[in-house]
Chains A and B, each alone.
Chain A
Amino acid sequence: TQLLEQSPQFLSIQEGENLTVYCNSSSVFSSLQWYRQEPGEGPVLLVTVVTGGEVKKLKRLTFQFGDARKDSSLHITAAQPGDTGLYLCAGGRSSGSRLTFGEGTQLTVNP
């Protein structure tokens, strides 16, 4: 069974602080996706990384895929209250649409 472990599970910080969320697995994935989910809504895709060592930036968010394609991180610079939400990592194999999700990191950014 492929498992993705996210840490931390909960994170409460002040506006302006930086943070990093980790997603780790013992399995290799062909791609790793990060989603953000708000209460009452479905997950929304933030980024997909497919190459080991790949780094992608989305405004204040930086995503990295580990060299061995087993782990990933999400770094947020100067967090804002609008960043509050559940951040989910999800790994996929090369074929099919099945994604294995981590349990998520609930981020709260206080003004």
Chain B
Amino acid sequence: DAGVTQSPTHLIKTRGQHVTLRCSPISGHKSVSWYQQVLGQGPQFIFQYYEKEERGRGNFPDRFSARQFPNYSSELNVNALLLGDSALYLCASSLIQSHNNSPLHFGNGTRLTVT
């Protein structure tokens, strides 16, 4: 079975540009979460979507937005990129909304570099 897939794997953008990152969850998983991992730190929660609705939002500016499609895949959009947005963006899927009963499965991430 395919795991969580993310695309692209690597991306280089310049300041001020926008970027769209894509995630396909494990088949049957209805919840998708996005995390940002800056080099040398642990992942930071950005968004969670469940059944196509936003169920949680972390402490990130409005430049960050996301959505979930009817097939449960998801996109993360970042506008007006800043140098500090350079990070590994991780997508995680789970069967249901609550992590207690449904573990997170992470993709291998998209490495975004902003120059």
- Please give the residue numbers on chain A whose beta carbons come within 8 Å of chain B beta carbons, in ascending order: 4, 6, 30-31, 33, 35, 40-45, 48, 50, 88, 90, 92, 94-104
Contacts and interface: CB of A to CB of B under 8 A. Distances in A.
Interface string B35-52: 100001111110010100
Contacts of A90: 42-43
Contacts of B99: 31, 33, 92, 96-99
Given A31-B100, A48-B103, A98 B33 contact: yes
A40 B37 CA distance: 12
Interface residues of B, number: 29
Contacts of B41: 103-104
A97 B90 contact: no
B72 interface: no
28 contacts: A30-B100, A31-B100, A33-B103, A35-B106, A41-B108, A42-B107, A43-B106, A45-B104, A48-B100, A50-B100, A88-B42, A94-B98, A95-B98, A96-B48, A96-B97, A96-B98, A97-B48, A97-B55, A97-B94, A97-B104, A98-B33, A98-B45, A99-B43, A99-B104, A101-B43, A101-B44, A102-B42, A103-B40
